[in-house]
Structure 1
Amino acid sequence: MEEIVIFIIYFIIGLFASILGSMAGIGGGVIIKPILDIIGLNDLSTISVLSASTVFAMATTSLITMLFSKKLQVRVKIASLLAIASIIGGIIGKSMFNRLLESFEQPDMLSIMQSIILACLMILIYIYQKKKDRWRTFTLHKTPIILMIGFALGSIASFLGIGGGPFNVAILSLFFSMTAKESSINSLFIIFFSQLSSIITMSVTKGFTELDLTMLPFIVIGGVTGGLIGSALLSRVTNTIIDRVFTIVIFIIICINIYNALKLLPSLV
């Protein structure tokens, strides 16, 4: 009975993270990772696989759904350049993560570092989101600059073990003058390729044989279901609602990561 409850919990985590992730373009990994940290049933490597797989399933489902409904509006050049660069950055970020994980005697130290960095970045994004109407936005076209931005996005997201959606949405809004709905859709396009790259990188480096992936089917099914629901909602809601959902989710993520960091600090003493 206890195992069934845990299976349901993982399904619900994948479901709600993916509904919000698909709607707001944040992917879901930024929600899944800190929540699984709180639950504490998996190590960092396993959490990375669970998060990446769920986000990839969600992004794939959402994009296919929007493609068939003819509501997939992607700025192909910008999104493709960002995606390509984020893949390269993701490989570097994952390599940095693996090296640090091996060098730390206490894995909790890396978890605390991730939580603090993620909380700080989310605070910056939250401030931008609340004040963005007062900010001047840009429409960048130069390929080298777009590639540099994509590389940075991929490196940070991969190192933190998240899909990178919140960063994508903020960057697409600030540097490419996209609306909330445009940012969400283009962010999902970028996330699809970055998470595919992350899964392939993990499979050819450390592999999955030593990981306990019992919960993988349940959280991924939640991701697929959430992707279907989220993409349907995205096509029906306004930019204002998407902005509100994004802001609320970012605030929740900040609170969760601060809690995670404070919870793990005593273990280092």
Structure 2
Amino acid sequence: MNIIYFLVGIIATTIGAISGIGGGVIIKPVLDTLGNYDISTISILSSFTVFSMSIVALLKSIKNKVKLDGKRTISLAIGSIIGGILGKNLFTLFLAALNNNLLGQKIQSTTLFILMGVVLILYINEGKIKGFRVNNIGFCALIGIILGIISSFLGIGGGPINVIALMYILGMGSKESSIHSIFIIFFSQGSKLLSVFLSEGFSVYNLEVLPFMVVGGIMGGFIGSYLLGKMKKNNIKNLLHILC
């Protein structure tokens, strides 16, 4: 069974590192379907895996001297840290108020389905729907907070939503938005995991498959970053269309 979780980790994060979707949007539904863990544990497994991938992808980007967008990037990062913590706390309150793991899983899946539908429409109509380029760092921080909350709450990394927001709101191209999306994932998921560690800790979760998924995430980060450097912008766009 461990090999299945390893394969889920490496396949999802390879795709995620190329496209900027992170991989959580693939990991979470698959783990839900496998049905071996509760909603909270799945969220932690997904977060750890995409966080591992994001570390590798960002280090590769730095090594390859990929330029980030200065003040806007820093604002997004700060916002995503705040959003990651807020999203984790909202998720905890949500589960406590609901007190029903299965129902919570269905609500989460439905929310994700709706969001992905919106993302798909925007991808299909790229070029037809006019976006705009925001340079105000306060607004960029707000975008980072919102994206961090969504990714942390849903436990998906938030990649596809990040990419769309970066393309339509901040005026980034597909390749640029992919790299910046990984940047947001690193900070939002990192802050979420730190928040969990400082509150209830990880011992309350069944993380027996975590090493296999993290190794998959690290390998996926290496493979995806390598392929991203070789791919053209149109190929990345086509991959995003297929995924959504």
User: Normalising TM by the smaller chain, what interval?
Assistant: over 0.9
Bigger CA drift: 27-36 or 143-152? 143-152
2:22, 2:159 within 8 Å by CA — same for their partners in 1? Answer: yes
- Paired letter, 2:94: L
Tell me the TM-score normalised to structure 2 length. 0.97
Deviation readout 1:250-269 (Å, 9 max, x if unpaired): 2xxxxxxxxxxxxxxxxxxx
- Which residue number corresponds to residue 18 of structure 1? 13
For residue 242 of structure 1, report the CA deviation from its aligned partner. 0.4
- Paired letter, 1:231: S
How many residue pairs match? The answer is 244
Q: Distance in 1 between matches of 2:84 and 2:194?
A: 11
For residue 158 of structure 1, report the CA deviation from its aligned partner. 1.2
- Paired letter, 2:169: F
Q: Distance in 1 between matches of 2:227 and 2:220?
A: 10
Match of 2:177 among 180, 183, 200: 183
Q: Confirm whether residue 56 of structure 1 aligns to residue 51 of structure 2.
A: yes
For residue 137 of structure 1, report the CA deviation from its aligned partner. 2.2
For residue 144 of structure 1, report the CA deviation from its aligned partner. 2.2
Q: Distance in 2 between matches of 1:80 and 1:33?
A: 28
1:114, 1:160 within 8 Å by CA — same for their partners in 2? Answer: yes
Match of 2:109 among 104, 115, 118: 115
Q: Distance in 1 between matches of 2:206 and 2:241?
A: 34
1:33, 1:47 within 8 Å by CA — same for their partners in 2? Answer: yes
Q: Confirm whether residue 47 of structure 1 aligns to residue 42 of structure 2.
A: yes
Q: Where do 1:81-92 residues align within 5 Å?
A: 81-92=75-86
For residue 103 of structure 1, report the CA deviation from its aligned partner. 2.1
Deviation readout 1:170-227 (Å, 9 max, x if unpaired): 0110012211110111111111111110110111122111211110000010001111
- Which residue number corresponds to residue 222 of structure 1? 216
Q: Distance in 1 between matches of 2:205 and 2:7?
A: 22
2:132, 2:170 within 8 Å by CA — same for their partners in 1? Answer: yes
Q: Distance in 1 between matches of 2:67 and 2:162?
A: 16
Bigger CA drift: 13-22 or 40-49? 40-49
Q: Distance in 2 between matches of 1:233 and 1:112?
A: 34
Q: Confirm whether residue 167 of structure 1 aligns to residue 161 of structure 2.
A: yes
Deviation readout 1:215-251 (Å, 9 max, x if unpaired): 000001000111101000101111111011111112x
- The SS at the match of 1:235 is helix
Larger-gyration structure (1/2): 1
Q: Distance in 1 between matches of 2:96 and 2:77?
A: 28
Match of 2:28 among 22, 29, 33: 33
For residue 65 of structure 1, report the CA deviation from its aligned partner. 1.5
- Which residue number corresponds to residue 205 of structure 2? 211
The RMSD of aligned alpha carbons is: 1.1
**Following TM superposition, where does structure 1 have runs of at least 4 consecutive aligned residues deviating by more than 6 angstroms?**
none
1:80, 1:190 within 8 Å by CA — same for their partners in 2? Answer: no
- The SS at the match of 2:203 is coil
Q: Distance in 2 between matches of 1:93 and 1:195?
A: 10
For residue 150 of structure 1, report the CA deviation from its aligned partner. 1.4
- Paired letter, 2:226: A
Q: Distance in 1 between matches of 2:92 and 2:170?
A: 33
Q: Distance in 2 between matches of 1:168 and 1:152?
A: 10
- Which residue number corresponds to residue 156 of structure 1? 150
1:74, 1:189 within 8 Å by CA — same for their partners in 2? Answer: no
Unaligned runs of 5+ in 1: 1-5, 251-269
Q: Distance in 1 between matches of 2:172 and 2:182?
A: 14
Match of 1:232 among 208, 217, 226: 226
- Which residue number corresponds to residue 72 of structure 2? 78
